[in-house]
Structure 1
């Protein structure tokens, strides 16, 4: 069984209504963190900015607008040209990114095959997570 799913893609950072910037991105899913998908934005040769997004939030966002607060997701278009929009916000600013929806959908299909919905907790080591939280280990 695969230990990790990686899917490289190019996302677009929306700068203005007319201007976008291409951002190389790596989507990652690891069964030891079954509820999350990592979007690792490569912002420089050695720099990356990872965001962890709920797997179910991304999956719902393939079909309808969802999310609130720090992460909102919605689809636009249809077929092979469909796009997945992500609005991300943090205390440092906001960003709107666009991903090819079929690529995200493929990663999510593989992730749900690896860890089916409703079975995520079978992959968690709750004692280790609790110890990590209580002792401040990251």
Structure 2
């Protein structure tokens, strides 16, 4: 669990408890679950490698954009999420995201993501609508 902040247009910041999740069963995905109320959560799935790039330089296009800001212990990762319902600008301590992301690469090293995937089963699931 990580406390990200929603950055309002006024510059005010509101805390947003955020669960970061990674599973070797879906090794390309980094999942962020934002808890926005007592019974409400918003789930975003990001590309793990894009998240890694976003720790070093601005990256992303479309619905997800990342950019590092600051330096040292005050460095942050800026995360902009866009949907048909609106846009959210969030910030998180860059160091915390980098540490979590490092653990995902310990679990499934870069370049080995596809080794555990059953491509035929995934393709069949997608083509036949099975969950």
**Normalised by the size of structure 1, how large is the TM-score?**
0.90
Q: 1:131 deviation in Å?
A: 2.1
2:85 to 57, 82, 92: 92
TM-aligned CA distance change 1:122 to 1:77, over 3 Å: same
Paired residue total = 131
Q: 1:135 deviation in Å?
A: 2.1
* Residue segments in structure 2 that go unaligned for 5+ positions in a row: none
Q: 1:17 deviation in Å?
A: 3.5
Q: 1:31 deviation in Å?
A: 0.7
2:7 and 2:51 map into 1 onto residues whose CA distance is: 19
Deviation >3 Å, runs of 4+: none
Match of 1:33 in 2: 26
1:126 to 97, 111, 119: 119
Match of 2:48 in 1: 55
Match of 1:44 in 2: 37
Greater mean deviation of Cα atoms: 123-132 or 107-116: 123-132
* Residue segments in structure 1 that go unaligned for 5+ positions in a row: 1-7
Instruction: Give the root-mean-square deviation of aligned CA atoms.
Output: 1.1
Match of 1:66 in 2: 59
SS state at 1:127 partner:
helix
